[in-house]
Structure 1
Amino acid sequence: MKDLKASINKFNEVTDNITNFVNANKKTINKPNVDEILIKENIELKNKNASIINKLEKILTKIKTLMEGEK
């Protein structure tokens, strides 16, 4: 769970940094390019977080199997 919490915190930190950067440079940034970059980053983060969630689900399944075996 620490990894998931750390990933969520990192995701929020990156999102905040991007938002701050965009807000600080609104006049000089080409909006379509920014949207394109944000969409790509969002997809990459979703894939990364999906991978972490899949690993956690596998771990939980193994734990459940072990617990059922002890009964």
Structure 2
Amino acid sequence: MKNTIAQYTVTADRTTGEWLEEPEYVGDVLVSDWNAKMDTADMHFDTCERFTSAASVDSETCAIEITWED
């Protein structure tokens, strides 16, 4: 099992959940550290699948830090 995953950050609309921009890569994070993060009123910590091929067949699990915007 891989000990780290790529972490991205994105701003999203608080009401709709729609991402307002493309996620930005910020580095790698330990999976154990990521899983220990707690959501707040202004931030949500989750994972998502990032497709790594044009055919949308190959993917990797990434950490995504979502900052809510009103």
**TM-score higher than 0.5:** no
More strand by share: 2
Higher relative CO (CA 8 A, sep ≥ 6), structure 1 or 2?
1
If you compute each CA radius of gyration, which structure gives the higher value, 1 or 2? 1
More helix by share: 1
Structure-1-length-normalised TM-score: 0.23
